[in-house]
Amino acid sequence: MNRRGFLRNTAIAAGALIFGRTQSAVAASPKKIIKASKFPVGSSRKFVATNGAPAFLFRTKSGVFAYSAICTHQGCTVDYLKAGKKLVCPCHGGSFDPFKSGKPVGGPPERALDKILVSIKSDWIVQS
């Protein structure tokens, strides 16, 4: 390899390293969902996760938690029925209990909904 090739490859590698660090720093910053002061205990709300997928956020006395709104059976979007306190899939009647780790409680799904990491930071509920 000649000097020009070495310098070019070094510059490309350095650029990739710097760009990679910038990208990971941006991805590491938490996404703000809603102010905690505007989301009291007993609340639930739909939001868009950092991956662009629909999700549901819940707040109880013990804290906040969230699940993907994508059914684990065939990928339909579930909705929260407050009266029954269940996340229900309109496609095949699957239902999940968000207060028991998103486990399926009816219908064809065999796997729990995917958890989404959320927390409260400086009066904001954020996705980590």
Q: Tell me if 1 is assigned to some domain.
A: no
> Structure tokens of 75?
């990928």
Q: Tell me if 88 is assigned to some domain.
A: yes
Does pTM top 0.85 for this prediction? no
Q: Tell me if 25 is assigned to some domain.
A: no
Q: Tell me if 52 is assigned to some domain.
A: yes
* Length of the chain as a residue count: 128
Q: Tell me if 19 is assigned to some domain.
A: no
How many structural domains is the chain composed of? 1
Greatest pairwise CA separation for the chain in angstroms: 72
- Predicted confidence (pLDDT) per residue in 64-93, tens digit: 999 999 999 999 999 999 999 999 999 999
Expressed as residue numbers, the domain containing 81 is: 31-127
- Predicted confidence (pLDDT) per residue in 25-52, tens digit: 455 678 999 999 999 999 999 999 999 9
- Give the whole-number percent of the chain exceeding pLDDT 70: 78
Q: Tell me if 97 is assigned to some domain.
A: yes
Q: Tell me if 17 is assigned to some domain.
A: no
Distance, in Å, from the CA atom of 96 to the CA atom of 119, rounded to the nearest integer, reads: 22
CA angle 117, 118, 119 (to 5 degrees): 135
Q: Tell me if 86 is assigned to some domain.
A: yes
Q: What is the CATH number for 83? A: 2.102.10.10
